Amino acid sequence: MKTTINLKLNGRGRPSEAELDAIDSFRTWLQTVITAGQFGQNERLPRLPRSKTPMYCRSLAGLPDNALAKELSVPVLAVLDQIEHAAAIFERALPPERPGATMPAPSGSAPPAVCGRANAVSRQRLNPEQEAYEKVLWQLDYALALMLRRLSALAAARGKQSQCAELHSDVCSPRDILAFKA
């Protein structure tokens, strides 16, 4: 499922130069934040000049067509698209019914997880290449689990305070929504 987000600002179909500059600056900052996170350098971010996420959020939130929401969601959706794409390729390379392998969990993670494929009843042995594919799939699934754990907690916390109907419909039960409106 490829996710695309179109950005049309100011009703003219083309963003103004000032809007483009604000969006480009925010994209650059997001890349810096992402790279810092990948290299364990988040503590250095506050020392960078003009590097405050709230400043960018205020700037883009004033632009039309949910520019801030779109710019924040695009990198996350791109990662999810890549995971989905890679998983589909590795799944196609494996037999439809195969023994599920219990992969060792990375250090610091939860106890070893068993993939949903473990329920398949099969005596078929995987060759070394297929075993490697299973390990890739387990890592992709584990990455999703890590993201989902953080996303679920954040969405639930924001859902209690948010006025965004879309967040409420995706996070809260109908009973929670009624209680919120009361």
Q: Mind spelling out the 3-state secondary structure of the chain?
A: CCCCCCCCCCCCCCCCHHHHHHHHHHHHHHHHHHHHHHCCCHHHHHHCCCCCHHHHHHHHHCCCCCHHHHHHHHHHHHHHHHHHHHHHHHHHCCCCCCCCCECCCCCCCCCCCECHHHHCCCCCCCCHHHHHHHHHHHHHHHHHHHHHHHHHHHHHHHHHHCCCHHHHHHHCCHHHHHHHHC
Report how far apart the first and last C-alpha atoms of the chain are (Å, whole number): 37
Looking at residue 178, its pLDDT comes to 47
Looking at residue 119, its pLDDT comes to 38
Express each pLDDT in 77-92 by its tens digit: 999 999 999 999 999 9
* The two three-digit tokens of residue 137, written as one number: 């799939």
Looking at residue 115, its pLDDT comes to 46
Residues of the chain with pLDDT under 70: 1-13, 49-51, 97-124, 170-182
Rounded Cα gap, residues 44 and 134, in angstroms: 37
Looking at residue 91, its pLDDT comes to 93
pTM of the model as a whole: 0.69
Express each pLDDT in 146-155 by its tens digit: 999 999 899 8
- Residues constituting the chain: 182
